[in-house]
Structure 1
Amino acid sequence: MAKSLVIVESPAKARTIQKILGRGYQILPSMGHVKDLPKSRLGVDVGKGFEPSYIVIRDRRKFLKEILEAARSADIVYLAPDPDREGEAIAWHIAEAIREDAEKRREKEKARKAPATGKKAGRRSGKKGKDGPFKAPEVRRVLFHEITKKGVSQGMAEPRDLDPRKFDSQQARRILDRLVGYNLSPLLWKKVRRGLSAGRVQSVAVKIIVSREKQIAAFTPEEYWSLTARLAGRLPPEFPAKLLEAGGEKVRPRNGEEAEKLRKAVENGPFVVREIRKKTRRRSPPPPFTTSKLQQEAARRLRMPSYKTMMVAQSLYEGIEIPGTGHVGLITYMRTDSVRVADEAVAAARAFIRDAKGDRYLPPSPNLYRNRKSAQDAHEAIRPTSTEYPPSALKPILGRDQFRLYELIWNRFLASQMATAEFEQTAVDILCDPPGAPSDGFLFRASGSVPKFLGYLELYQEENGRGNGEAGEQEGAGEAGEQEKEADAVLPELSEGERLALRELVPAQHFTQPPPRFTESSLIKELEERGIGRPSTYASIVKTIRDRGYVRMEERKFLPTELGGLVTDLLEEGFPRVMDVEFTAKMEEELDRIEDGEREMVRALEEFYGPFSEELERAREAMPELRDELVATGIPCSECGGEMVIRFGRAGRFLACKSYPECRNTANFRETPEGTVELVADEEAGVDCDKCGKPMVVRRWKGSRYIACSGYPECRNTRPYPVGVECPECRKGEMVERASRAGKVFFSCSRYPDCRMASWARPVPLACPDCEYPAMALKVRKGGKTEIACLRKGCKGKREEEALHEAG
């Protein structure tokens, strides 16, 4: 039997490493953490220096038992969970379990060898221990930054002791999160409703989204106008030029009257080229991926949620079966904040670029990138483990999401070592100086950019995020986008002094834009820039706030729910330190300092918990009891004539009769801009309840519609909302609207689970012109563009949107 035991997290990782190390090693998975704080109690003894009480996780007992049994016959145990704080905690708890098991065996051995009397003693003294002579294995920690032969061999050649500072850093995070969540959540249950949760980081993330929504609501658009001349020189093409100055002063018309006055002033010209400026603009390639940048780009380009990005990246890291080669880890460790790359990987990338593209695409020396000031730099950037496996060669082997993510990582890494892109940028100043004009006339400007050498852009085009809520974080984002489009315009050959012909003068109305709502990509960017969370936590933060019902997604952007806004306001008032973004970022820095040995764990916890416990006591007394709060509205109850009041329920606030439970009448409402409350009439569904006969009405939950009995709560009958399309698969059911756990609307057959037809895109009752499939879908593409595409997988049939209007 193998005398060396290696412990990793997952079976896939175990298979890959087993093939690398061979028969002399036994590889076992732990299936993640084997111990955690108990769910049924706090599990932290504050009075004993925040001592945690870990227990074995129920569904990990089987795996831990297998590990302990294997460790008893091993000479050495190598603990090889992921090389981060969570991996260190897994390794620490397994090592602890091995030590405890060894101690029990040692005591058993002592008891067996102890002298005894009588017949029982005679029988016992001659009996050998079940496990033979006691021998505890040596336990070492190994780090695999890539699951390749080289990476595993290097890790095994450099075994080390467990890192208590890294473990303390993980423990501190876990204890902090438990102290906050375990105390705040019950408070919300008491004050608002059961089932709510709060967290040290998740609540701050929701606050960021709520704050942005308040900024949008408070934003007042300002009108402004532009004046664009379409001009023609002696050579084509025609080109646009925008009015910038009048009489040497910048001009920006505030309304249509001012724009029209300027139009009339310049409509008779003349337009003469005053100055032409040309310069070469260079665009440097981006660095290889860190975790946050990978999540941002995958969300933007691939529309892949961050948690899914990390799942797919984990599978690429742990290893893929390649025919003729075996299990191979395709990327380096995917939780990193560093852009550093090993010298040999840089050399391999440069060799690949030289062979594939030629010397022109290779800079004279390797491109070097600087880490952020807060970067831990514990691991390399995310990159392919070898240039021997280009995406095209692996496409038949990888799953769709694996291929798309691997190709993204591959292209970004190679692009990071390619030559800069070069553009010839031209700016043309055009003077219009009609009679009666200001002393310096009217200055128009045209800009254009022509690529001279694409360099890295031939492989990796950077996303600008327009139309996606990514760009334009400030007011006037629309204007910035227009200027960028103008800068990319194609200009004809012009010469200074050349007279131009005016083809058209176009005044255009614009409005300043509010800050955009966060997409998943821009939220992760915001969290990173403000120091909230770390590479290993971004995905879980985003997933948690969606699952808790505090935010919802609309057109791929985050909107706070009413519940999210209310809970955020309560927590901000009751726990200003916990909800402070800068304080949360400071706590992340404290965790980093614990890992670096600059901070003692217990001291950091004490400094947090003292003020927190004081806020907790105040909030228990001062936080309003919304759970039982009744807000008067003055609206009479349509059932009993009593007063309707505002109550709080699972989906937020609603109107209910004050005489509840004697009268159970409920209704929806909205608040007017004046602050008054008015009823929102239920939309009739056009069908009667099949249980009580009352009319059915349309209601909403998590953004999706459903049909409910108007007799609620006496009758609780509901059914999914039909969208008027027969199921194209079974032809028996109809397509209905549903909501996922995360609040995302999708469409499926009403006969589920007998028929599993489902689609994220809204079905429309049109047959595909290519394959005659009986249903198509209204799909939203990048930039908000919509199209009608076939609903059948693999078919690329499309129809014009007019067909949808004709179909009704």
Structure 2
Amino acid sequence: MVKESLPRELFRLYQLIWKRFVASRMENAKYKTTSVKLGAGEYIFTMSGSKIVFDGFMSVYTDDDEEKASSDAVIGKLKVGDELELVKLIDLQHFTQPPAHYTEASLVKALEEQGIGRPSTYAPTITTIMARHYVVKEQKNLYVTELGQIVNSMMVNYFGSIVDKEFTANLEQLLDSVGDGKVNWKTVVSNFYPDLESAVDQASKELENVKIADEVTDVICENCGRNMVIKYGPHGKFLACPGFPECKNTKPYFEKIGVSCPKCGGDVVIKKTKKGRIYYGCSNAPECDFMSWNKPSSIKCPKCGSYMVEKGNKLLCMNEECGYTENKPKE
């Protein structure tokens, strides 16, 4: 009935929302996992497989039969003492990768999992730490700044019990209880405030003013000849003359990405629109009008020699007549 009354795109959206909602109210899927150790002389090889024994939410949310298929078809037939034939030995080396940087979505997910904050506070929290330059957003990733590291270190040293994630999660539950009328707010405050007041008093006595050393650049102030430094303002980084207040010269700061402009050979820099959308332009603007929404690559197109840009895990040639693409090299 619904399918016939909606266009294909709207029906697919409706179907996705319906499946997600229904799946969220269902039990988790259950698997039977089997692990096997194979002895080969002095070496031990391990393998594991899993078999789904209860579909749970996957009965409505997962249409891919491969996800439901058993991955222990071979392992399930093995018995203790079986001798296996070596068909092929693949020599591969794997390196442990560091944890990925948080994105806004993964940070919200982590807050949810640890019981910190509420849906109404997630967005303001992320907005605040970015506005105060504790983190910066590059592409989709969030990176901690030097200021953020210093503030975090100070908070851990002087307010360790308060910034503890378990304390924060418990306080959230207490505040929910206050909202439900189960706990008197004065009781919560009286239990919490003395420790906070003591920590603030101690920090006020011991904590010195923290100054972050300015990052010197190779940009020369045209008024006094000094090397300009990077400062933080309400709208992010900017260049300022270290001779302030004698010299009050300032300039916009644009971060270089290490790629030359394909039009004039200048530096390609990161810029933002008035709405905050990132794009890439030339440091010689407005004389050079180069602009790209996708990050230019230092790799030239092997087919036509034109410049290429990054798009997902691909490199695309920007020469429309060429159309060459290749996989993005792993960093």
- TM over 0.5: same fold? yes
How far the C-alpha of 1:533 sits from its partner, in A, is 0.6
Quick check: 1:580 aligned with 2:116?
no
Partners of 2:63 and 2:46 lie apart in 1 by 30
Q: Secondary structure at the match of 2:182?
A: coil
* Match in the other structure for 1:392: 9
How far the C-alpha of 1:616 sits from its partner, in A, is 3.2
Structural mapping, 1:677-692, within 5 Å: 684=218, 691-692=222-223
* Match in the other structure for 2:85: 500
* Match in the other structure for 1:116: none
Paired residues in the alignment total 309
* Match in the other structure for 2:109: 525
Partners of 2:36 and 2:112 lie apart in 1 by 40
Question: Please, which of 293, 300, 323 is the counterpart of residue 759 of structure 1?
Answer: 293
Q: Secondary structure at the match of 2:181?
A: coil
Structural mapping, 1:465-484, within 5 Å: none
Whether contact under 8 Å (1:415, 1:459) holds in the other structure is no
How far the C-alpha of 1:596 sits from its partner, in A, is 1.6
Change (3 A) 1:597 1:778: same
Change (3 A) 1:579 1:564: same
Q: Secondary structure at the match of 2:280?
A: strand
Partners of 1:737 and 1:558 lie apart in 2 by 16
Quick check: 1:716 aligned with 2:249?
yes
Partners of 1:757 and 1:407 lie apart in 2 by 39
Quick check: 1:559 aligned with 2:95?
no
* Match in the other structure for 1:409: 17
* Match in the other structure for 1:599: 183
Whether contact under 8 Å (1:552, 1:743) holds in the other structure is no
* Match in the other structure for 2:326: 800
Q: Secondary structure at the match of 1:597?
A: coil
Q: Secondary structure at the match of 1:624?
A: coil
Structural mapping, 1:43-54, within 5 Å: none
Partners of 2:27 and 2:196 lie apart in 1 by 52
Q: Secondary structure at the match of 2:260?
A: strand
Q: What percentage of residue pairs aligned between the two structures are identical?
A: 27
Letter in 2 for 1:789: L
Q: Secondary structure at the match of 1:592?
A: helix
* Match in the other structure for 1:457: 62
Partners of 1:572 and 1:741 lie apart in 2 by 36
Whether contact under 8 Å (1:698, 1:708) holds in the other structure is yes
* Match in the other structure for 1:736: 269
Deviations 1:665-704 (A, max 9, x none): xx65xxxxxxxxxxxxx5x57xx76x359597896979xx
Deviations 1:436-478 (A, max 9, x none): x6xxx7654555679999854216999xxxxxxxxxxxxxxxx
Partners of 1:590 and 1:744 lie apart in 2 by 39
Change (3 A) 1:613 1:736: same
Partners of 1:741 and 1:547 lie apart in 2 by 15
Partners of 2:112 and 2:250 lie apart in 1 by 45
Structural mapping, 1:164-179, within 5 Å: none
Whether contact under 8 Å (1:553, 1:744) holds in the other structure is no
How far the C-alpha of 1:538 sits from its partner, in A, is 1.6
Q: Secondary structure at the match of 2:119?
A: coil
Whether contact under 8 Å (1:747, 1:763) holds in the other structure is no
Whether contact under 8 Å (1:552, 1:744) holds in the other structure is no
* Match in the other structure for 1:330: none
Partners of 1:575 and 1:427 lie apart in 2 by 45
Letter in 1 for 2:325: R
Partners of 2:164 and 2:36 lie apart in 1 by 49
Question: Please, which of 764, 788, 791 is the counterpart of residue 315 of structure 2?
Answer: 788
Partners of 1:795 and 1:458 lie apart in 2 by 39
Partners of 2:166 and 2:28 lie apart in 1 by 37
Letter in 2 for 1:500: E
How far the C-alpha of 1:598 sits from its partner, in A, is 0.8
Using CA pairs under 8 Å that are at least 6 residues apart, name the structure with larger relative contact order, 1 or 2: 1
Normalised to the residue count of structure 2, the TM-score between the two structures is: 0.62
Letter in 2 for 1:412: R
